[in-house]
Every structure is written in C-alpha cells, then in structure tokens.
C-alpha cells in the first residue's frame, strides 16, 4: 500500500508567547501543497527483530533511521496495538528537509494513517491527531490535511474556508540550513496585530505587507540569498511571496495562467505546482 505525503506552507506566522514547557505559542494558517514524498508499507517477508525494516531513497535523509518519524509512528502504534505485524517501510524523499515545508511531519502523520488503514485499527481521526501530536507539533495538521488555523504549538487546529486551487505555487529551496533554535532566539513574542484569518479573507493582491511571517525579518537579514529569492519571486510576477515556517524555503503564489520565469533568475532548485 502506497501513499503520497504532501508538504505545507504557512500563510502568516506569529509567535505570540513562550510556554512553561519551553515551546512557543503561535498563530498561523497551514495550507497543503502538492509537492509529495512516497511512502510504502508491506508485510515483512520475514519477522523483523524490531518489527520494522525501514529503507529510503531520493533526497538523503540525515541521522539514524530510528529517529525517523515514520519509524516512530510504527512504534507508537505498536505499543498500543501489539498485534501489528512486522512490516517493511520504504520512503522516497522529494520534499526538501529543514525547509519549513513540514515534509518529515507529513511522512510521520501519513505513516500513522497508512498503518491504521492497512491493518484496520479502530482509530478515529481525533485519536490519530493525538498520536500525531506525540510525534511533533506540525504532525496533527497532516492528519486533517486541509487549510487550518493553527494555535498552541500548532497542534490546535480549526479548519478554514480557503481555496487557492486557481493559483500556481512556486517553491524555492536555497539549500540553506537555518537553526530553528537560533531563529526563535531572534524573536520577542507579541500578540498578533491583526488575526491572520481576517487578512486571508481579503483578495490575495492585498496580502503583501499585511500577511507576515515573524521569522522573516531576522532570517532575511542574516541570509541575503533568501531575501533575494523572495524579491525575485515578486519581480517574476508572484501575487504573494513569503518564507514558510522558520525557513529556508520561500514560496510564491501566481495567477494560474501566468508563465513562470523564476528559474532563469536564481541558481536554486524550484518546484512549480498547479495546486489542483
């Protein structure tokens, strides 16, 4: 059985407070975008000592496989459902890592859903969300995988009416690693000047200047290449451009009929997605 975990972008992102547990309170709107990995789960041909044999291809994944969220998802369910059989899991990685696109979180959440469906576990979506929250703050979004207003650590989700299927998305990854810890250290939490959901009710042509990612100011100042990508997207005709999450990927939203010339303006990989 194969599924295709997609990425997300953040439409606006405000850090509104620091929690006693060390996490930060935030406000954002998550929006799914169809740049996708591929995840396959099959019954293991032989009994695996740890219950799972994990392999990967595509973009290289740093670290040990035991720390991969797909593997953690299996072990999380295995603890409560010991009848889960041994499996082979293969992940083909296309979503760049450390880019603010939530690729790893998506893989983990889709692994939970795939395991639940394949082995007919009696799990309600709310229960899957609770498991996903144990994997990471962005993971619950990918259980719903629809436009959502996120608060708390990002795990408190309210679906919103937002349809951008009539636009093209361009995702640019400069290959720069931005330390999330450093990025948070640059910010002073503050209440949002205006609710993101109010801004998104306006025409997309009015988002520029109002729909803000708090991480952009310090990161674009520290990494001129990322700032140059955002400027190039606007020069190429994007209606709105922003960094996603704490970076370093930058996205642009274009009219569906517009030709895209950003590849000729930058020296970084980019993905053009007609989000249908």
Residue 162, classified by CB atoms within 10 Å of its CB into exposed (0-12), middle (13-18) or buried (19+), is middle
The closest of 123, 96, 79 to 178, measured between CA atoms, is 96
**8 in active site:** yes
Tracing tokens 């997609």 back to the chain, one arrives at 6
Cis peptide before 202 (omega within 30 of 0): no
Question: Annotated catalytic, 138?
Answer: yes
Angle at 8 between CA 223 and CA 250, to 5 degrees: 25
d(Cα 117, Cα 38) in Å, to the nearest integer?
A: 16
Q: Which of 37, 72, 93, 138 is catalytic?
A: 138
Q: Which ranges of 86-178 does DSSP label H, i.e. alpha helix?
A: 103-118, 125-135, 139-144
* Residue of 8, 93, 113, 230 with catalytic role: 8
Catalytic residue numbers read 8, 138
């Amino acid at each position: 059985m194969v599924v295709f975990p997609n990425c997300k972008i953040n439409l606006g992102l405000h850090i509104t407070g620091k929690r006693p547990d060390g996490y930060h309170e935030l406000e954002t709107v998550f929006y799914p975008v169809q740049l996708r990995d591929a995840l396959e789960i099959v019954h293991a041909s032989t009994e695996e000592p740890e219950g799972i044999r994990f392999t990967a291809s595509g973009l290289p994944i740093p670290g040990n496989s035991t720390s991969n969220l797909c593997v953690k998802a299996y072990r999380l369910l295995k603890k409560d459902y010991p009848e889960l059989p041994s499996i082979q899991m293969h992940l083909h990685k296309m979503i760049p890592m450390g880019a603010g696109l939530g690729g790893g979180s998506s893989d983990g959440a889709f692994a939970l859903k795939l395991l639940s469906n394949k082995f007919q576990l009696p799990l309600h979506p709310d229960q899957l969300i609770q498991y996903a929250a144990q994997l990471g703050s962005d993971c619950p979004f990918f259980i719903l995988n629809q436009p959502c207003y996120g608060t708390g650590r990002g795990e408190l989700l309210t679906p919103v009416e937002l349809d951008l299927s009539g636009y093209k998305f361009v995702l640019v990854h400069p290959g720069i690693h931005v330390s999330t810890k450093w990025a948070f250290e640059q910010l002073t939490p503050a209440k949002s000047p205006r609710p993101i959901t109010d801004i998104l009710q306006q025409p997309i042509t009015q988002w520029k200047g109002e729909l803000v990612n708090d991480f952009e100011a310090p990161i674009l100042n520290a990494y001129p290449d990322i700032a140059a990508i955002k400027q190039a997207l606007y020069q190429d005709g994007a209606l709105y451009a922003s960094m996603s999450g704490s970076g370093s990927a930058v996205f642009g939203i274009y009219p569906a009929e517009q030709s895209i010339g950003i590849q000729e303006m930058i020296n970084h990989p980019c993905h053009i997605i007609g989000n249908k």
